[in-house]
Amino acid sequence: MAEEIKQVNGSVVPLLLDDIDTDRIIPARYLRCVTFEGLGEHAFKDDREHDSEHPFDHPHYSSASILLTGRNFGCGSSREHAPQSLMRWGIQAIIGESFAEIFFGNCTSLGIPAVCAERAHLDQLHQAVKDNPSQELTLDLHNRQIHFGEISVPCEIPASAHSALTTGQWDFLSQLLSAQEDIQATAEKIPYMSNFSA
Question: What confidence score (pLDDT) does residue 96 get?
Answer: 98
Give, as one character, the DSSP assignment of residue 75: B
User: Could you list the mean pLDDT of each consecutive 10-residue stretch along the chain, which spans 198 residues?
Assistant: 92 97 91 77 94 94 97 92 95 98 96 98 97 96 97 97 94 65 75 63
Question: What confidence score (pLDDT) does residue 181 get?
Answer: 75
Could you tell me whether strands 66-69 and 12-15 are parallel, antiparallel, or unpaired per DSSP bridges? parallel
Question: What confidence score (pLDDT) does residue 50 get?
Answer: 94
Question: What confidence score (pLDDT) does residue 39 get?
Answer: 85
**3-class state of residue 153 by DSSP:** strand
Buried b (16+ CB within 10 A) or exposed e, 82-116: bbbbbbbbbbbbbbbbbbbebbbbbbbbbbbbbbb
**3-class state of residue 10 by DSSP:** strand
Distance from C-alpha of 54 to C-alpha of 25, rounded to nearest angstrom: 13
Domains (range + CATH), the chain: 7-193 (3.20.19.10)
58 C-beta neighbours (distance < 10 Å), count? 14
pTM across the whole model: 0.87
